[in-house]
Structure 1
Amino acid sequence: MDLIKLSEPEFQVDNLAAFQCALLNKEVGYVGTYIEEFKSLLGDYLNVGNLGLFSSGTSSIHLALLAIGIEPGDEVICQSLTFAASANPISYLGANPVFVGSETSTWNMDPDFLEEAIIDRKNKGKRVRAIIPVHLYGMPARIKEIVAIGEKYGIPVIEDAAEALGSFTAEGMCGAFGDFGILSFNANKIITTGGGGALITKDKLVLEKACFFALQAKDPAPHYEHSRLGYNYAFSNLNSVLGVQQFGDIEGKINRRRRAFNHYFERLSAIEYISFQKGIIGDFSNRWLTSILLPDASTVNELKQYLERNHIETRPVWKPMHIQPLYKNCAYYGDDFEVSLFEKGICLPSGSGLTIDQLERTSQAILDFCRHV
């Protein structure tokens, strides 16, 4: 029996002409025609003018923090329910993460807890320099409210849309709301280039500053001159070839992810103790990963083991950052709702390459399990 994977990359491998062209032109570094084409496709799709390609979503967050001027001892407010890559770049710079809990509709940063955190940190004499909300599993956060709070207190927003390419609200595309937006093209994302990410900014000069740091901070000179610490965060033309090819089917990839969610919802929502990540009416989620909630952690563990025996891959919902060993001593503002999501949640196979038979096999296995709980 074949393994049904959580989020397997989906490629069209019948056309290698673009790779051959890049190789023949010796465009395999961080300069090349496909880099420019991929940037143009992304910029037009998101309706943004300033977008740079870098080695990962993590490096893009790091570059955004560098562009803001984050220094040791500064504080950066970050969503607690996320992957460590959202928070780690804060620590790279010697700054201190402050974590904010989630609200129930989107599972993303709660604007009320965010404002509470800002006010309390300022009252304690702390220097809050940035806010990092996340569009978890492709679900748009209450981003308009979060950006408004950032503007109210003069704090830049770095919008982590690593999982949310193609998601949007009535006001625009995810990744294009904040002072900065972050995308990821890791192997399990909507579009993959094997690795890589993007940084979106509202200021061309800020993007130029990020590019400066990403290419080893080389000062203008006929020789290699360095007055600032730089990084090797370049994105190659060969990665861009794959990105351009993938982009041709972006709507299809999103629709197939949403098809997976709709299938699970239709088949499983009748079970009274199973619930789903809902979102806000009118918002559009790419449904990068479909997650369900069960009554308790023991049921989750039993279901995970049952699905493993049936060759179906799952993952837990992200463990919140404020209960991770690395960050357990950081300040936190929330009610631990996201801890219950971690304990009771499980992510189901959601890749755009899944067949109807694979979706049916997964949902039927869950139904069979539930009959014996």
Structure 2
Amino acid sequence: MRIWLSRPHMGGTEQDYVGEAFESNFIAPAGPQLDQFEAGFADYIGQDVHCLAVSSGTAALHLALRMQNLDQGDEVWVSSMTFAGGVFPIIYENATPVFFDLSPESWTICPDLLEEALKAAGKRGKLPKAIIPTDLYGQSCDLARLEGLANEYEVPLIVDSAESAGANFRDRKCGSGGDMAILSFNGNKIITTGGGGMLVSKDEKVIEMARFLSTQAKDVAQHYQHSTYGYNYRMSNVAAAIGLGQLEVLDQRAIQRRNIFDRYSKALGNVPGVAFMPEPEWSTSSRWLTTATFDENLCGLNREMISQALLKKEIDSRPMWKPMHKQPLFDGKSYVGSGFDEKLFDNGLCLPSGSDMTIDEQDEVISLLLNILNP
């Protein structure tokens, strides 16, 4: 059987919650399971946050940016190494992305580069309208630095926590950062609703405005009346029912994935040329995906050769995100950095990390990697 990169992993109660939704006939977007999922996730995140469940993480980010009242040409600063859905909403709002490199300490957006750029932009009188750092592969960005800079320069901070449900920044859950944060429940994420996302904010008015926009921006009236345009972005009640069961096992899934990472790193950490994503003292990563780099000069194989060797044995893997500033779509857009993220892309590979991987499956992947790296 194929060993997948990251499969959905049900906890056992999801069908019960879905059954309740069917029995009550709350199949449409509104319903008690949706309300419970939003409330339950807010309780899980803590920090007195409010939550809005929507159709995807991209939808959540689009709503967050829509509320920034962006004009054509306004800049939004964003991690370059991220999934495209973490950048596309900038285009939806006719703004201009400026891409930033990562810190070698954390493989998340570099606060030093941001600080330097903010100082220069402040002197020019052209600060960005928002900053979007990405929690990469389950690891929090440096929220203390980023929140401090955002407050100092009065720039909204929208944290892309799509990949970091179940992770922590110090004693805070990922998803609690910035003015707003977004999460994803796509099928390959640490928990899934089949497809979905969450917008999180401590400001209840922000969430209420996003709720209004996410349901076609219908005015309060007996008839359909619209004073502005909105979107069909709400999560369905049935998807939220799946989320209720998944939420019950979120911390367990993070532990399972951290254990898988530990087995990889202990087995391969001393192989010349192999390095794993670091974990700063302020972060407890969920290790959504175990990510490693392979230096061909030291280990004799590049990441594509390793990926193909795995594929021949029906083992799934994936290159790291191609930085957005290297994508044809964003050719010519501004980039701030030295190309550390480019090196990660050239050498980095995401290894099978699903929380449903058996010990035998983990051993199979590790054994194959050891064999091809130590012929």
Task: Report if TM-score (shorter chain) is over 0.5.
Answer: yes
Unaligned ranges ≥5, structure 1 = none
Q: Secondary structure at the match of 1:77?
A: strand
Aligned partners of 2:161 and 2:108: how far apart in 1? 12
Larger CA deviation: 359-368 vs 25-34: 25-34
The equivalent residue for 1:25 is 24
Give per-residue Cα distances to partners, 1:278-318, cap 9 Å, x unaligned.
12124210000001111149611111111111111000011
Aligned partners of 1:77 and 1:309: how far apart in 2? 40
Q: Secondary structure at the match of 2:284?
A: coil
The equivalent residue for 2:374 is 371
The equivalent residue for 1:271 is 271
2:44 matches 1:41:
no
Q: Is the 8 A contact 1:135 1:161 kept in 2?
A: yes
Query: Cα offset for 1:330?
Result: 1.1
The equivalent residue for 1:81 is 81
Aligned partners of 1:300 and 1:245: how far apart in 2? 36
Larger CA deviation: 20-29 vs 338-347: 20-29
Q: Is the 8 A contact 1:105 1:277 kept in 2?
A: no
Q: Is the 8 A contact 1:73 1:94 kept in 2?
A: yes
The equivalent residue for 1:203 is 203
Query: Cα offset for 1:127?
Result: 4.6
Residue identity in the other structure for 2:71: E
Q: Secondary structure at the match of 2:89?
A: helix
Q: Is the 8 A contact 2:14 2:242 kept in 1?
A: no
Larger CA deviation: 65-74 vs 299-308: 65-74
Q: Give runs of aligned pairs for residues 59-208 of structure 1, distance below 5 A.
A: 59-124=59-124, 126-208=126-208
TM-score under structure 2 length normalisation: 0.96
Query: Cα offset for 1:327?
Result: 1.1
Aligned partners of 1:14 and 1:220: how far apart in 2? 37
2:53 matches 1:50:
no
Aligned partners of 2:296 and 2:128: how far apart in 1? 36
Residue identity in the other structure for 1:333: V
The equivalent residue for 1:4 is 3
Q: Secondary structure at the match of 1:68?
A: coil
Aligned partners of 1:8 and 1:86: how far apart in 2? 21
The partner residue of 1:320 within 320, 323, 326 is 323
Q: Secondary structure at the match of 1:53?
A: strand
Larger CA deviation: 5-14 vs 35-44: 5-14
Q: Is the 8 A contact 1:122 1:128 kept in 2?
A: no
Aligned partners of 1:331 and 1:364: how far apart in 2? 43
Query: Cα offset for 1:79?
Result: 0.5
Query: Cα offset for 1:126?
Result: 3.4
Aligned partners of 1:203 and 1:15: how far apart in 2? 30
Aligned partners of 1:121 and 1:329: how far apart in 2? 19
Give per-residue Cα distances to partners, 1:11-65, cap 9 Å, x unaligned.
2457633322211211011211111111122111110331111111000001011
Aligned partners of 2:167 and 2:142: how far apart in 1? 13
2:358 matches 1:355:
yes
Larger CA deviation: 71-80 vs 4-13: 4-13
Query: Cα offset for 1:86?
Result: 0.9
Q: CA RMSD in A?
A: 1.5
TM-score under structure 1 length normalisation: 0.96
Query: Cα offset for 1:85?
Result: 0.9
The equivalent residue for 1:250 is 250
Residue identity in the other structure for 2:52: G
Q: Secondary structure at the match of 2:198?
A: strand
The partner residue of 2:310 within 307, 310, 315 is 307
Q: Is the 8 A contact 2:14 2:244 kept in 1?
A: no
Specify whether residues 363 and 235 from structure 1 end up closer, same or farther in structure 2 by C-alpha distance, changes over 3 A only.
same
Specify whether residues 186 and 15 from structure 1 end up closer, same or farther in structure 2 by C-alpha distance, changes over 3 A only.
closer
Q: Is the 8 A contact 2:15 2:242 kept in 1?
A: no
Larger CA deviation: 120-129 vs 171-180: 120-129
Give per-residue Cα distances to partners, 1:199-256, cap 9 Å, x unaligned.
0112111111111111111112211111211111011110011011112212221111
Q: Is the 8 A contact 1:138 1:288 kept in 2?
A: yes
Aligned partners of 2:331 and 2:256: how far apart in 1? 38
2:288 matches 1:288:
yes
Aligned partners of 1:120 and 1:330: how far apart in 2? 18
